[in-house]
Structure 1
Amino acid sequence: MESEKMLHVLKATVLLCIIANAALIFPAGAVNAGVSVAPAEINITNATATLHIAFEEGNWPRAAAYAELITNNNPTSGEEIWYEWAYALRMMGAYNESLKVADEGIERYPNNHLNYLNKGYAYIALGNWLEARKNAESALSIKPMEAAAYNIIALGLLGQDDEKNALIATEQAVSLEPDNAVYLNTKGMILIKSGDYGKAVDVLTAAVESSEDRYAIPYPGAPTPEQNLNEAQRLYNETSVSPMMIFAAAGLILVVAAGAGLLRRLIRKR
């Protein structure tokens, strides 16, 4: 009898150990967008590794959940955690939440420019062009050669119908990272809005060719290079005149001119 009691106690102890270890590795709610109640203790190193893996895989809900879990247990865990948390929320379309996290990250790490970029793209998604540009300028004050900041400024200017200065800003971004599909895509959109469809086709073709396996859209629903290329090609086809049509028009003009000359001569003879 005593041995059976000991066996039950041993089984219960083993089960509790398994549950405890599982909670450390897979915290409750970690697969959801947020973690409302974090365990009293977690393995920060393992949780951080899980966050980075989820971030690289584009598993934004899992990345956001682990970032929240880590910062709840260790608010000074590092500037990268706050950046990845705000980024993941932005890619989930949770723009206001992303802005709040980015602001806290900036408050804790004021010399890190990355959360200003998070805020800039979130404001672009929200259509707040001025705030987007302000945050991009703040990023440039910390890192003057940050291509993403120039891209945000270009998108903000494009949203304000200032294609001329938008093109200047995007040229700066492309000059810093010539093969970046995101920046080439922005340039293509500006050229479309400017009516330069032929050049837009060339730039967007380069953007499509530069795209990696997973195109890094700056926010959900942002137009991709493929979508913009199709639009540019359609507009180019609708507005361009083929060489054959030019030759035909020129021939018609010559025929009309010759006919008019003949008619004048006939009139004079009369």
Structure 2
Amino acid sequence: MTLLRSLFCIALLLLLIVPSPAAGDPAARARFALAEEDWDGVLAATGEGLAGEPDNVSLLCMQGYALRKLGRYSEAVAVVSEAIALDPAPVRYANRGYAYVAMGNFSAALADAEAALRIDPLDATSRGVEAMALAGAGDLAGAESAVDRGLALAPSSAHLWHVRGEILLLAGNATGAAAALNRSLAIDPGYSLPWPGMPSVREDLAAAMRAPAAPVSGLAAVAGVLAVWYLRRR
């Protein structure tokens, strides 16, 4: 019994003094923090990793993503731009594109979406960026077409249904907006928004329930709704 107890104590001591592989791996810690939506933890881990590997694209992308989630959009753009320069990929363009949308730089967001789609026309996430950029620029028909193309690729995306609901709400189609937003809630009622200033699905649904069911008529009315949509993201 004494021998077994001694062996147990030795094993426990080894667990305490020998670090796990993840403990010394900033990338692994960053991925864990990312899964937990611990954005400050992501920044701490990626900052440590980039100090030794400044050209690590994965670390740069995770850092840029966390910066966007914290509302630090200009910093996010700068960091993800470094990653794109090293290794352009659709997911990186979308990462930066959402930061541009949050900043109100819709032309830059659209350029990123188009760059991503040239690489992979089947990238549903980039269709979402494209849709939001077009909506922000006032092209609601183009925005609806873009998000529908995204949904054809990813029909179970709570985010894309949310985007579709927002676009229909902008167009004055409150009934269609409510249906899309309810679809988003049914898929994932708590999905992580691309940036902190974006209204939640429930906020948009409440707006749809208050809005008239008939489409808004007149360019002035659409422009007014668009201005509100943009200001809610600042």
Q: TM-score range by the shorter chain?
A: 0.7 to 0.9
Q: 1:44: Cα distance to partner? A: 8.4
Instruction: Report whether the alignment pairs 1:227 with 2:203.
Output: yes
Conserved? CA contact 1:99–1:122, under 8 Å: yes
Q: 1:171: Cα distance to partner? A: 0.4
Residues 55-109 of structure 1: CA distance to partner in whole angstroms, max 9, x if unpaired? 11111111012112101112344x3222111101110111111111111111221
Q: Give the letter aligned to residue 108 of structure 1.
A: L
Q: 1:236: Cα distance to partner? A: 4.2
Distance of 1:45 and 1:115 partners within structure 2? 26
Instruction: Report whether the alignment pairs 1:48 with 2:19.
Output: no
Distance of 1:76 and 1:197 partners within structure 2? 47
Distance of 2:118 and 2:23 partners within structure 1? 32
Q: Specify every segment of 5 or more residues in structure 1 that has no aligned partner in the other structure, as ranges.
A: 1-20, 26-42, 241-270
Q: 1:178: Cα distance to partner? A: 0.9
Q: CA RMSD in A?
A: 2.3
Instruction: Report whether the alignment pairs 1:105 with 2:77.
Output: no
Q: Give the letter aligned to residue 195 of structure 1.
A: G
Instruction: Report whether the alignment pairs 1:154 with 2:134.
Output: no
Aligned residues: 199
Pairing of 1:158-237 with structure 2 (within 5 A): 158-212=135-189, 214-236=190-212
Conserved? CA contact 2:30–2:46, under 8 Å: yes
Distance of 2:194 and 2:97 partners within structure 1? 10
Residues 127-147 of structure 1: CA distance to partner in whole angstroms, max 9, x if unpaired? 011000001111112222111
Q: Specify every segment of 5 or more residues in structure 2 that has no aligned partner in the other structure, as ranges.
A: 1-16, 216-234
- 2:226 is aligned to none
Conserved? CA contact 2:29–2:45, under 8 Å: yes
- 1:140 is aligned to 117
- 1:4 is aligned to none
Higher relative contact order by CA 8 Å / sep ≥ 6: 1 or 2? 2
Residues 182-202 of structure 1: CA distance to partner in whole angstroms, max 9, x if unpaired? 110111111111111111111
Q: 1:119: Cα distance to partner? A: 1.1
Q: Give the letter aligned to residue 47 of structure 1.
A: P
Q: 1:222: Cα distance to partner? A: 0.3
- 1:86 is aligned to 64
Q: Give the letter aligned to residue 101 of structure 1.
A: V
Distance of 1:44 and 1:147 partners within structure 2? 34
Conserved? CA contact 1:124–1:132, under 8 Å: yes
- 1:58 is aligned to 37
Q: Give the letter aligned to residue 200 of structure 2.
A: T
Distance of 1:223 and 1:52 partners within structure 2? 26
Identity %: 29
